[in-house]
Chain A
Amino acid sequence: MFWKSTYNEFIKIAAKPRSYIGVGAITLIVGIILFAMKADGMNFISFVTAPFEQSLSFEGNILNGNLIAFIILQMLIIHVPLLIALVTGDLVSGEAAMGTIRLLLTKPVSRTKILFSKYLAGCAYTFIILLWMGFMALIVGKWLFGTGDLMVLNSDGLIVLQEHDLGWRFALGFSVAFLSLVTIATLSLTLSCFSENSIGPIVSTMAVIILFNIIGALDVPVLQKIQPYLFTTHMMAWRSFFEDPLPTEKIINSIIILLVHIVGLLGIAMYKFNKKDILS
């Protein structure tokens, strides 16, 4: 019954027009970035490499598909949560708003299974969005700009990663980015269990992300104590895979923090959903 319920949730997500907003938005944004890079990418690269040109000389195809994918991932990982929350924030509250939750919960499937089905479908949607972003960034990027070594600028300076060393970094980077987005999906699903309209959980999810980002950016000692435990602090953990040497401990710590959030939020969602009186 669980898999039938999950299949139902896939059908519902696939049939909802709002599910395609994310795919459309990513296609549009990545398309614009690719167009802008094609038109004026070398100027952008010169701006980044200018401080190093007195001591280093850059040869080869610097503006390549790998760099484009890295830039796109860095730019979009902040905005994709809204596209994810648009669908996952509606999974429970949307049913309440439409009234279908009454029928859904009078079927012989436990509430835990129904919620977990929704969660699984939400995670699959998140994966598809990220996969589409990866395809647009990496595959289309390489097709348009060719391939080459990846030049990454971080707080320690400029790192050049060999082309043959990039495949596993992108794979693991995307995996941790997926974990970050699943945390967002879990948060919005949890908030969805507390609401009877679609907009509330979506807006609340974004409000939490903005609030946590502000707390994370404030250089105040009392807030610095909690900053390492906020999931937003670890949203960019995927970037650590493009450091050399790899900060393994930092990456594992981020994964643990994100997993703790996922498990905790899912626990709250399960509790609320199971106890909820359906009055709508």
Chain B
Amino acid sequence: MPGEDKIIEVSHLVKHYGKFKAVEDVSFDVYRGDVYGFLGPNGAGKSTTIRTMLSLIRPTSGQIRLFGKNLLTERNYILQRIGCIVEKPDFYKYLSAEKNLEIFARLSGVSVTKSKVHEIIEFVGLKGREKDKLGGFSHGMKQRLGIAQTLIHDPELIILDEPTTGLDPQGIIDIRNLILQLKNERNKTVLLSSHILSEIELIATRMVIINKGRTIVQGSVSELLNAQELIVAFSVNNIEKARQLLANASLDKVIDKIESNSILLHIPQEKIPVLNKLFCDNGIDVYSIEAKRKLEDYFLKLINA
């Protein structure tokens, strides 16, 4: 995205703890308006990178620039423009939701009114629970309050480290919708680290994948995935005839798997209409075409390479 406004520039980040190399060489750029997926298997160095970007950890070497400023020299300027959840959203259990938000708002460098606090609480769906102490909150409610906390000072950038960990399916959907609202309704740039690949696929515009402390790939989610072959399931009325047809067209190598009523093919996206036409022209009824687990396959292919 040359020419666009870079919000995060991480270049050649390294973090060692004695002999242990948590991050070896991580580089990526996040642009204004991105929902940026930050992917990697456990132990890849995602949390260490995020903590370093938030000045919780000092880097061994490398440079981090946010909003065009160096994190080491302009820490407060930068942190004033960031809202974040790092791993679990932990709060003071002996204080109410409202008091917790007030505490963190006071430290964010902006004056926040009670009505603003209530507005944010309503936005994350916790209206009516603002006076309740955190001790009685479920994990999902704490996650919501965590997102409220990231918004309380109206930051430009929101960093969410594993925001859906430990949530039930409904909780995951709710948080995903909240993130989409942040981008669409509040024009926030979001850096989202997650293990749930479908989540990134659904909401991220760009992404980086890291493994063993190194950047493997970064770019637009759609471009990266479209450049790859998909696993496409054609549900047809005559599997054997479809297989024979592919063999005749010397396409039997693209067959990944044959199931009872569908045939799974490893093909690039542009081949889908070609094969659909081929089946239809030869009297095979196509009931459905489904591209399966794109990001998951892409991720595993990169990680295992």
- Interface residues, chain A, CB within 8 Å of chain B? 1, 4-5, 7-8, 11-12, 15-17, 98-100, 102-110, 275, 277-279
Can you name 23 A-B pairs with beta carbons within 8 Å? A5-B107, A7-B106, A8-B107, A11-B95, A12-B95, A12-B103, A15-B94, A15-B95, A16-B94, A99-B90, A103-B90, A103-B91, A105-B54, A106-B79, A106-B84, A107-B104, A107-B109, A108-B108, A109-B76, A277-B56, A277-B57, A278-B51, A279-B51
Interface residues of B in 173-204 (CB under 8 A from A): none
- Range of interface residues on B (Cβ < 8 Å): 20 to 34
Asked if A107 and B87 make an inter-chain contact with CB atoms under 8 angstroms apart, the answer reads no
Determine the residue in chain A with the shortest Cβ distance to B54: A106
- On chain A, the residues within 8 Å of B91 by CB distance are 100, 103
Asked if B57 and A105 make an inter-chain contact with CB atoms under 8 angstroms apart, the answer reads no
Distance between Cα atoms of A213 and B108 in the complex (Å): 44
Determine the residue in chain A with the shortest Cβ distance to B17: A277
- On chain B, the residues within 8 Å of A109 by CB distance are 76, 107
Asked if B149 and A106 make an inter-chain contact with CB atoms under 8 angstroms apart, the answer reads no
- On chain B, the residues within 8 Å of A4 by CB distance are 106-107
Asked if B94 and A17 make an inter-chain contact with CB atoms under 8 angstroms apart, the answer reads yes
Asked if B57 and A106 make an inter-chain contact with CB atoms under 8 angstroms apart, the answer reads no
Number of A-B contacts (CB under 8 A): 83
Given contacts A5-B107, A105-B55, 14 further A-B pairs with CB under 8 A are: A11-B95, A12-B103, A16-B94, A98-B92, A99-B90, A100-B90, A100-B92, A102-B87, A103-B90, A108-B75, A108-B108, A277-B51, A278-B56, A278-B57
- On chain B, the residues within 8 Å of A11 by CB distance are 95, 99, 103
Distance between Cα atoms of A99 and B95 in the complex (Å): 15
Whether B257 is near chain A, meaning CB under 8 Å from some CB there, is no
Asked if B56 and A105 make an inter-chain contact with CB atoms under 8 angstroms apart, the answer reads yes
Asked if A12 and B92 make an inter-chain contact with CB atoms under 8 angstroms apart, the answer reads yes
A-B pairs, top 3 by smallest CB distance, nearest first, are: A99-B90, A107-B107, A278-B56
- Interface residues, chain B, CB within 8 Å of chain A? 17, 51, 54-58, 75-80, 82, 84, 86-95, 99, 103-104, 106-109, 149
Determine the residue in chain B with the shortest Cβ distance to A99: B90
- On chain B, the residues within 8 Å of A110 by CB distance are 75-76
Asked if B107 and A108 make an inter-chain contact with CB atoms under 8 angstroms apart, the answer reads yes
- On chain B, the residues within 8 Å of A275 by CB distance are 58
Grouping DSSP codes into helix (H, G, I), strand (E, B) and loop, the B interface class, with mixed when no group exceeds half, is: loop
Asked if B103 and A106 make an inter-chain contact with CB atoms under 8 angstroms apart, the answer reads no
Determine the residue in chain B with the shortest Cβ distance to A19: B94
- On chain B, the residues within 8 Å of A12 by CB distance are 92, 95, 103
Asked if A108 and B80 make an inter-chain contact with CB atoms under 8 angstroms apart, the answer reads yes
Distance between Cα atoms of A104 and B105 in the complex (Å): 11
Asked if B86 and A277 make an inter-chain contact with CB atoms under 8 angstroms apart, the answer reads no
Known: A98-B90, A103-B149. A108 touches B109 (CB 8 A): yes
Distance between Cα atoms of A103 and B87 in the complex (Å): 10
Asked if A8 and B103 make an inter-chain contact with CB atoms under 8 angstroms apart, the answer reads yes
Asked if B107 and A1 make an inter-chain contact with CB atoms under 8 angstroms apart, the answer reads yes
- On chain B, the residues within 8 Å of A277 by CB distance are 17, 51, 56-58
- On chain B, the residues within 8 Å of A102 by CB distance are 51, 56, 86-87, 90
- On chain B, the residues within 8 Å of A104 by CB distance are 107
Distance between Cα atoms of A107 and B82 in the complex (Å): 8
Asked if A106 and B86 make an inter-chain contact with CB atoms under 8 angstroms apart, the answer reads yes
Determine the residue in chain B with the shortest Cβ distance to A97: B90
Distance between Cα atoms of A184 and B160 in the complex (Å): 39
Distance between Cα atoms of A110 and B84 in the complex (Å): 17
- On chain A, the residues within 8 Å of B75 by CB distance are 108, 110
- On chain B, the residues within 8 Å of A99 by CB distance are 87-88, 90
- On chain B, the residues within 8 Å of A103 by CB distance are 84, 86, 89-91, 104, 149
Determine the residue in chain B with the shortest Cβ distance to A8: B103
- On chain B, the residues within 8 Å of A98 by CB distance are 90, 92-93
Determine the residue in chain B with the shortest Cβ distance to A111: B55
Cβ of A99 to closest chain B Cβ, rounded Å: 3
Determine the residue in chain B with the shortest Cβ distance to A104: B107
- On chain A, the residues within 8 Å of B87 by CB distance are 99, 102
Asked if B106 and A8 make an inter-chain contact with CB atoms under 8 angstroms apart, the answer reads yes
